[in-house]
Amino acid sequence: MAKTFLIDTSRCTACRGCQIACKEWNELPANDTRQWGSHQNPPDLNAYNYKLVRFNERRDGDTVRWNFFPDQCRHCIDPPCKHEADAYVEGAVIQDPETGAVLFTEKTRQLSEEACEAVREACPYNIPRRHPVTGALVKCTMCHERITRGMLPACVKACPTGAMNFGEREEMLALAEKRLAAVKAEFPNAMLADPDSVSVIYLLTDDPFNYHQNAVAGVTRDLDRQQFLARLTAPLRRSARAAMQG
Amino acid sequence: MTNHWIDLKNADAFLIMGSNAAEHHPISFKWVLNAKERGAVVIHVDPKFSRTSARSNFHVPLRSGTDIAFLGGMIKYILDNEKYFKDYVVAYTNASFLVNKDFGFQDGLFTGFDPQTRSYDKKTWSFQLDDNGVPKRDESLQDPNCVFQLLKKHYARYTPDKVSTITGVSEENLLKVWEAYSATGTGTKAGTVMYALGWTQHSVGVQNIRSACMIQLLLGNIGIPGGGVNALRGEPNVQGSTDHALLYHILPGYMATPTAAWQTLADYQKANTPVSKDPKSANWWQNKPKYMVSLLKAWFGDKATADNDFCYGLLPKLEAGVDYSYMYLFDRMYHDQVRGGFIFGLNPMNTLANTHKARAAMDHLDWVVTSELHHTETTDNWRRPGVDPKTVKTEYFLLPSAHRIEKEGTISNSGRWTLWHHKAIEPAGEAKNFGFMLIGLANKLRAKYLQEGGALPEAVTWQDWPQHYDAEEWCKRINGFFLADTKVGDKTYKKGQLVPSFAALKDDGTTSSLNWLYTGSFTEEEGNKTKRRDPKQTPMQEKIGLFPNWSWCWPVNRRIIYNRASVDPTGKPWNPDKPLIAWENGKWVGDVPDGPWPPLANEGGKYPFIMHTHGFSQLFGPGRVDGPFPEHYEPVETPVTSHPFSSQLSNPMYKFVSGDLDKLAKPGDPAYPIVLTTYSLTEHWCGGGETRNVPCLLEAEPQLYVEMSEELAREKGIKNGDGVIVESIRGKVEAIAMVTVRIRPFAVQGKTVHLVGMPFCFGWTTPKCGDSTNRLTPSVADPNTTIYELKACLVDVKKTDQLTEIAR
């Protein structure tokens, strides 16, 4: 059965338990970081950070908004990175039919630097990173070796507040709708990010761009706002209809 | 915590103040967010907008050190608008007590102040007693000398405009918080206060917390689910360490340390055992002699007998009036009055105030023994930057310590649950646990005294130490044993069996216990209760998330203390939707009640605040040294030269030490116009000695920063990410500027006051991460606890291109 994450940012306190747990489980070395005027560190995803909590702050009139975005691979249902990589090396990127996990294999080492760049370009969320030593493409593995043994992904296990959730797709979609309805009381513009096309669904309480430029796929700030919202809410309306009919 | 973590979910309103709970107690927010989803309002009052603020309904910025003005204003608001829960206030608090007619307050000082000694004669801070010695009460609350009227008079000065001008909080924001929070004073709503070091680390720290207690009492929020005054304690096992008396002023179980004035056990018991003439007052501390004698029996075993005062004479005695806390200890060290000592489990060279002085003070020691996981600023003080090790006479020993996960034992959490934790792996290398080290040391010392004698050798040789450390055996000793065959109810316990509850402890030497509060945690019937992990609960307990069979909690597994205040005098819960205890068919159901007696209105009933001599909680609290009512005083280092409530600028009793390294900036000092507040962060633990050695934590928070407003940065020509020097009158610290909208300037008395914030977890043993922020903070402290004022002092900041402590 396909697995799905629900990342409820309305419950995220940016404790970074997920970011640290991911590094620990994957035994990734630490980057030599510097304080650069932000709590977001390392500044971006890299070969040693498959998961990164992004911090985005602004003042909205007299109110401060500080948004937290635990960024990671969305494990797209129809993954563009796989389509792109297949054109270069068959089997470099695979999708586990059982869980839906999109996995970068050892064969990604056979991808040239340019091919890796093309795969990264293909990703609507700018996730893949090339390992500086091995040349492999790396990213979140959905903790495949854990979830196939009945355990939760390390990031979900570590989350203290219930921001990170993981389970069967139907179950997570239902939870997402329930959570969305609950947070709308306080945040009328709350939304789910690309719920129909990804296995990692974010519940956002603010404009996606106020979290991260790649919080949602394939739109830019220039896109007409109405179009943008229509596109975002269409899947919701669809699933709401489906839920009512079901 | 009066309550516990899960119970946070029962609150209808949260006042998170003096705490950054989401960052420092991450698990708390699981429950806070559950309540919020149910419709609870979450309010964060704090100088900076933090990760806690981000998840709150609203954040209100407050100038650091003005909490009492803010809370005093709230007390006035509650009284003026009759938001208090009157039935509770009359029945359970001392609002109705008549105070000594000679008691008074004028221009910032209570009656009895002696400016020469900077102390109060508290004679007039007393209650009028009737012929039987019971406090006189006026339940109409109209008598001009009753606590309620005095309270009204005291806080009449705390008007919104005055509070606003000194705190820097707009009147609109003040009223928003006061109104939202005081809406819980109905009997059927619950409000909780969550605080931590943001309240304690001030020269008025204890009175900050007193203010919160008073608000909670007025609103009827103590003793109920979702209520309480909740000190958030954490991983450092602060709860366990205070319970077991890691501090000098108490013995295990919150009993006073003997002083030179109490030479015999009789002296001690007389001075420390309160007497109540009111038959309705349980006056629980009347049992103290039983706990003290049981403690002496646990310490001295068979050597302790009634004839020798149970070895009370062998205990060290404090000199009256001498303060033995850190601030004075390091001052004495600096003045060559201390020769050596042990520093276990802390990193004072990073965490004490004014670490320039603390670091220099340690150089005066002949020897020091440390025990740590890693090298820290304390273990390696002898080779700190700018010091030639050859010039340091101190001999340092570093004993490698086992990590928490390398040993078994208990930790007491903030909700007073004592939980067993298992050993996950064997300690690395030669590392040992503290129990091994301390018992080994005690036995070596004893052997040496037995062989060589010395002054008063019995103080050591008569102590009852085991040969080897065994955590579970130690838990049994803490619980306590019967030392003679004893009948409790229908059951007979044999000599050597475990005592089932502190009600069975005796003052005749037939029981032992290392801590009466923990008696009942390890019993013949149920074994080691700290290992219990059974989620079984009754439907009534399920409603409020009470798990009585999960671990064990002191006292007697009572999950919410003062719970008799959650019911009316007939035993009916004030809030029928969330009952905590209830008197049903002649018995209590729900939580373990605060004592077995029937409800207050019944024959044999008792007042709910059983730890107070008179049985009532204290709106008028004469126990503190600096006043029965909290009063606003500025921090010792303050950006203002006056405040609107009195001409007494700072706490008249704040503690300090003086010397060449103990400089203080004067009030409103133009050279240091910016307020500095200091704090922890999620990613590092306390002084950072452990977590800076965990690579992925250091990756996430690598270097010392100073958070400042965009306005201040503009004024100073500082850009985000620039290197800066933060300077107080005591020293300079390098940091990276974090320019943020989350800190904003305060409008105080018509002027702009800037505030900056810095974490204190970085130190020089981690290369190029920065060094102790506490080189900036002052050696001044609260007069009740001698906790340093680390949350508010004065600095200036300037940009620098030449960083030596921090790598770019």
Query: Does a cis peptide bond (omega within 30 degrees of 0) precede residue B555?
Result: yes
In contact, B676 and B794? CB cutoff 8 Å = yes
Inter-chain touch A35–B720, beta carbons under 8 Å: no
pLDDT digits (tens, 9 = 90+) for A22-63: 999 999 999 999 999 999 999 999 999 999 999 999 999 989
The pLDDT tens digits for B9-40 are 999 999 999 999 999 999 999 999 999 999 99
Interface contact A41, partner B, CB < 8 A = yes
Residues of chain B with Cβ-Cβ distance to A64 below 8 Å are 49, 53, 59, 741-742
- Residue B738 CA, distance from chain mean position: 30
Q: Which residue in the set A37, A59, A66 is minimally distant from B54, CB to CB?
A: A66
Q: Which amino acid is at B446?
A: R
pLDDT over 90 at B238, yes or no: no
Residue B569 has φ and ψ, to the nearest 5°, of -60, -15
Instruction: Read off the pLDDT of residues B79-113 as tens digits, 9 standing for 90 and up.
Output: 999 999 999 999 999 999 999 999 999 999 999 99
CB contact under 8 A, A30 and B737: no
What residue of B is the nearest CA neighbor of A17?
A: B683
Fill in the DSSP letter of residue B466.
-
DSSP letter, residue B315: S
- CA neighbor of B543 nearest in space, from B190, B27, B89: B190
Predicted local confidence at residue B401, as pLDDT: 96
Q: Where are the alpha helices (DSSP H) in A73-163?
A: 80-86, 113-122, 144-147, 154-158
Cα–Cα distance between B701 and B682 in angstroms, integer?
9
Interface test mutation site (partner B, options A32, A161, A165, max chain B beta carbons within 10 A): A161
Rounded to whole angstroms, the Cα distance separating B425 from B391 reads 41
Whether B216 and B227 have beta carbons less than 8 Å apart is answered as: yes
Residue B597: left if φ>0, alpha if ψ -120 to 50, beta else—which one?
Answer: beta
Per the prediction, chain B carries an average pLDDT of 97
B799 shares contact with chain A (CB less than 8 Å): no
As a whole number, mean pLDDT of residues B257-286 equals: 97
Torsion angles phi and psi, residue A58, rounded to 5: -160, 165
B306, pLDDT greater than 50: yes
| CB-nearest partner of A35 from B30, B37, B703 | B703
Judged by a CB distance cut-off of 8 A, whether residue A30 touches chain B is yes
| DSSP string for A104-142 | E-GGGGGS-HHHHHHHHHH-TT---EE-TTT--EE---T
Write the pLDDT tens digit of every residue in B760-800: 999 999 999 999 999 999 999 999 999 999 999 999 999 99
Contact B431, B407 (CB under 8 A): no
Whether residue B737 and residue A17 make contact (CB cut-off 8 A), yes or no, is no
Residue-level pLDDT at A243: 47
Q: What pLDDT, on the 0 to 100 scale, is given for residue A231?
A: 44
Confidence band for A240, pLDDT divided at 50, 70 and 90: very low
Mean pLDDT over B737-753 rounds to: 98
For residue A179, the one-letter residue type is R
Give dist(CA B338, CA B378) in Å, integer: 17
Q: Please, which residues 725-744 of chain B have a Cβ atom closer than 8 Å to chain A?
A: 736-742
Instruction: Please report, for residues B38, B354, B712, B727, B758, the alpha-carbon distance to residue B678 in angstroms, rounded to integers and kept in the order given.
Output: 33, 13, 18, 14, 5
The per-residue pLDDT for range B372-413, each reduced to its tens digit, is 999 999 999 999 999 999 999 999 999 999 999 999 999 999
Mean pLDDT, to the nearest integer, of B490-494?
A: 97
| pLDDT of res. A226 | 47
Listed in sequence order, the residues at least 6 apart from B632 whose beta carbon sits closer than 8 Å to its beta carbon are: B66, B68, B69, B72, B158, B166, B204, B643, B645
Q: Is the dihedral of CA B730, B735, B739, B741 positive or negative?
A: negative
Q: Are strands A93-95 and A102-104 parallel, antiparallel or unpaired?
A: antiparallel
Q: Which of B190, B224, B228, B235 is nearest to B209 (CA)?
A: B228
Inter-chain touch A182–B37, beta carbons under 8 Å: yes
**How many CA within 13 A on the CB side of residue B638?**
23
Nearest to B198 by CA among B242, B247, B232: B232
Could B55 and A39 be called an inter-chain contact, meaning their C-beta atoms sit closer than 8 Å?
A: no
SS3 B426: coil
DSSP state of A165: E
CB pairs under 8 A between A and B: 108
pLDDT at A49: 98
Q: A17 CB near a chain B CB, below 8 Å? A: yes
The SS3 call for residue B330 is helix
Closest by CA to B506, choosing from B702, B705, B340, B289, is B289
At residue A224, does pLDDT exceed 90? no
pLDDT number for residue B213: 98
Distance of alpha carbon A239 from alpha carbon B778, whole angstroms: 60
Which positions in chain A touch B762 (Cβ < 8 Å)? none
Instruction: Give CA–CA dist A44/A38, Å, rounded.
Output: 12
Contact list, A22 vs chain B (CB under 8 Å)? none
Is some CB atom of chain A closer than 8 A to the CB atom of B697?
Answer: yes
Q: Does the distance separating the beta carbons of A37 and B736 come in below 8 Å?
A: yes
Q: Which residues of B touch A39 (CB under 8 A)?
A: 701, 738
Whether pLDDT at B69 is above 60: yes
Asked whether residue A3 carries a pLDDT value surpassing 60, the answer given is yes
Q: Within B579-693, where are the H helices?
A: none
Percent of chain B with pLDDT over 90: 98
Angle formed by the axes of helices B67-80 and B171-182, to 10°? 60
Mean pLDDT within B721-745: 98
> What is the Cα–Cα distance from B673 to B513, expressed in whole angstroms?
53
Can you tell me whether residue B639 is helix, strand or coil? Answer: coil
How far apart are alpha carbons B226 and B193 in whole angstroms?
9
For chain A, which domains are there?
A: 1-29+39-240 (3.30.70.20)
> What sign does the CA torsion over B309, B314, B315, B317 have?
positive
Q: What is the mean pLDDT of residues B460-481?
A: 97
**Cα→Cα distances B731→A198, B91, B252, B456, Å:** 54, 53, 39, 45
Indicate yes or no: CB of B703 within 8 angstroms of CB of A182.
no
Q: Is A11 on the interface with B (CB under 8 A)?
A: yes
Nearest CA to CA, how far is B737 from chain A (Å)?
A: 6
Cα(B531)–Cα(A25) distance, integer angstroms:
28
* Residue A134 contacts B, CB cutoff 8 Å: no
Q: Give the bridge partners for B396, in sequence order.
A: B368
SS3 B427: coil
ipTM for the whole predicted complex goes beyond 0.85: yes
Among residues B481, B480, B488, B484, the alpha carbon closest in space to that of B515 is found at B480
Q: Residue A219: its pLDDT value, please? A: 57
pLDDT average, residue stretch B183-193: 98
Out of B30, B700, B808, the one facing A19 most closely (by C-beta) is B700
Which of A34, A160, A186 comes nearest B30 by C-beta? A160
CA B331 – CA B358 distance, rounded (Å):
8
**pLDDT given at position B320:** 87
Cis peptide before A42 (omega within 30 of 0): yes
* pLDDT tens figures, B643-700: 999 999 999 999 999 999 999 999 999 999 999 999 999 999 999 999 999 999 999 9
